[in-house]
Structure 1
Amino acid sequence: MNLSLSFRSPEPSLCHRRYSCPIKYPQKQQVPNLLRPKLYPKIQFPIPKIQTQFRVTARKWSPMEGLSQEMNTIALQNLDHAPARRRVRSAFINVHKQLDHCLFKMDNAGIRTEEWYGRNSRGMEIFCKSWLPKPGDRIKAALCFCHGYGSTCTFFFEGIARRIAQSGYAVYAVDYPGFGLSEGLHGYISDFDELVDDVIEQFTNIKGRSEVRGLPFFIMGESMGGAVTLKIHLREPYKWDGVILVAPMCKIADDVMPPAIVLKLLALMSEVLPQAKLFPQKDISRLSYRDPRKRNTAGYNVISYKDQMRSRTAVELLKATSDIETQLNKVSSPLLILHGAADKVTDPLVSQLLYEKASSKDKSLKLYQDAYHCILQGEPDDTIFTVLNDIVTWLDSRCSPN
């Protein structure tokens, strides 16, 4: 049997054939075609009674309209290692400020931000960032954030964090090893539980910071970050004052899962070639961003992981969701679940099941009619602000002054 696999990651694929530019420029620049994607050589893997052929291709890339050839070339460079990702992010900071998206245009003057690198117990540099309320404003509580697969705690989350900080909360986030600005092979998760350990380590350090010592601590996770958040809560059930889950990855939706035979082959490949980009997946950006303009804006998150999922990463995510499914009844913290009712990436029915099975006495489930997976980034502005307001209202109701 011959399998020819060419695929994308299960989080939104952020590279499209054409962009309608969300940056407002006085004149539109003409951008020539740049580098064409290279094809890696075909690799033959002998498997008993099965002849399997994998064709692994580099990510497809079309120049982003409105950007110079120089900026497109910067965006196209190899991002396997953190120094390159950090250079690219620095080069695009001014570009991001001009993006036509509500999360980049909110007036949050006075919010204090800080960026730093902490080291985990394995000696890797982990990118951390904080957003604090305006000087003189009382800090009600702290919120720690876990980002989704392929993403980063910068870009879209900057606007989300600023909105929450404006309401009186100290917000903290980290990039996982191998993602965003942290060290590690881009998009590679060798062990999901080890990743959870890394996040716990950084959040434990954050809890000791002087500005939030002794305050309530909440944790929020989006998509794969929801799985990270649940794993953290199950490890530390009494160390968090509440859990917020946004379209959590408790189970990957059947619509985006590959066939069973492919999963078996990938389990084998994760042992033979763990870092190879072999996970077959549909381009699901249209299932993730309901608003086409916001879908185009997502392409400017240039340090997000956009290639095919690495084989070990895929197996680790499947193992993590399988483990979480068996422990839904152990979720005991005050719980807020927010999910798009039309999400076909992570299943809203599983969020409903989590809500029903969780042993939490204080739990809420909010489903947003017609909304897709990225309810905080890819919906019409009014939906995005509704979700943000729901988060702040929930926090406020649990942080009222005595």
Structure 2
Amino acid sequence: MPEPGVPIKGALCFCHGYGGTCTFFFEGIAKQFAASGYGVYAMDFPGFGLSEGLHGYIPNFDDLVDDVIEQYTEIKARPEVRELPRFIMGQSMGGAIALKVHLKEPSDWDGVILVAPMCKIADEMLPSTTTLKVLNLLSKVTPKAKLFPYKDLNEFIFREPGKRKLAVYNVISYDDKTRLKTGMELLSATQDIESQLQKVSAPLLILHGAEDKVTDPLVSQFLYEKASSKDKTLKIYEEGYHGIMEGEPDDRIFAVHNDIISWLDFRCLLIN
């Protein structure tokens, strides 16, 4: 969604997080990026938001990545952005998707932005090793069953109580026990990404809350150190929870948004 009357500097393609959508909280964020001169494009993954498919079900993570590549390849070919810099941005699970998209087409993006990326799920969020083995076996028999232990993530995502209360109105988000196959696919994806961090080569911006209990900020530090990108930046926000783009006090949210826009502006200047 380019802002009417504002010249477009580049295309920003967004990948939402687990249970998230490309509407509700992100809609306001997208408007701010659009007002700063970026064509912002987003999609609800199959099984999430308003897209078709069983809600919260990911039968194959790599198929999901390929679907994102297909959709954003079409968008990058649009006349209004065809000759402009193109960036992919992923939040949480969307960060894992953005990384896998980049690894599959390493020269097709002018930059990758990762917000609290799911390169490793925090240990506190995982069942025990024994339980995981059982869940893995069950996932082969009843893949769609909602049997992963449930945790209300909102208290870990939203530091600002007022914004946490708003989250319940996001009725198209997935807020239930994780389906067995989905959970195992998420774990497998993080393990695959962790083994390929050194192959990340695009200009890279990583942003993470220091108090994130959903995805581990130490793994973002590890990604920053391992990535072969010559142009890479890591920003850790003190006291920040998982939802640094939407769940923090307003001044912090504006700071995060401005950090992203400043990074985009500088890369666009370098490219042009």
**Taking structure 2 as the reference length, what is the TM-score of the superposition?**
0.98
Cα distance in 2 for residues equivalent to 1:227 and 1:351: 11
Cα distance in 1 for residues equivalent to 2:153 and 2:83: 42
Cα distance in 1 for residues equivalent to 2:51 and 2:213: 29
Q: Give the one of 220, 225, 230 matched to 1:361.
A: 230
Aligned pairs for 1:1-400 (under 5 A) are 131-135=1-5, 137-400=6-269
SS at match of 2:207: strand
Q: Which residue of 2 aligns with 1:52?
A: none
**Could you tell me which amino acid in structure 2 is paired with residue 255 of structure 1?**
E
TM-superposition CA deviations, 1:176-229 (whole Å, max 9, x none): 101111111000000000000111000011011111111110000000000000
**Could you tell me which amino acid in structure 2 is paired with residue 393 of structure 1?**
S
Deviation (angstroms), 1:284: 2.9
- CA contact 1:146–1:222 (8 Å) conserved in 2: yes
Deviation (angstroms), 1:140: 0.4
Deviation (angstroms), 1:396: 0.3
Cα distance in 2 for residues equivalent to 1:363 and 1:341: 19
TM-superposition CA deviations, 1:101-129 (whole Å, max 9, x none): xxxxxxxxxxxxxxxxxxxxxxxxxxxxx
- CA contact 1:144–1:173 (8 Å) conserved in 2: yes
**Could you tell me which amino acid in structure 2 is paired with residue 307 of structure 1?**
D
SS at match of 1:398: helix
Cα distance in 2 for residues equivalent to 1:281 and 1:355: 31
What RMSD, in angstroms, separates the aligned Cα atoms of the two structures?
Answer: 0.9
Instruction: Return the index of the structure with the highest Cα Rg.
Output: 1
SS at match of 1:132: coil
- CA contact 2:143–2:180 (8 Å) conserved in 1: yes
- CA contact 1:246–1:337 (8 Å) conserved in 2: yes
SS at match of 1:278: coil
Cα distance in 1 for residues equivalent to 2:39 and 2:180: 37
Deviation (angstroms), 1:133: 2.0
TM-superposition CA deviations, 1:126-172 (whole Å, max 9, x none): xxxxx21222x211000000000011101111011000000000000
SS at match of 2:66: helix
Query: Which of the pair is proportionally richer in helix?
Result: 2
**Could you tell me which amino acid in structure 1 is paired with residue 165 of structure 2?**
N
**Taking structure 1 as the reference length, what is the TM-score of the superposition?**
0.67
Cα distance in 1 for residues equivalent to 2:12 and 2:152: 32
TM-superposition CA deviations, 1:55-79 (whole Å, max 9, x none): xxxxxxxxxxxxxxxxxxxxxxxxx
- CA contact 1:148–1:224 (8 Å) conserved in 2: yes
Deviation (angstroms), 1:399: 1.0
Counting aligned pairs with the same residue, the percent is 68
Residue segments in structure 1 that go unaligned for 5+ positions in a row:
1-130
Residue segments in structure 2 that go unaligned for 5+ positions in a row:
none
Cα distance in 2 for residues equivalent to 1:363 and 1:197: 25
SS at match of 1:183: coil
SS at match of 1:293: helix
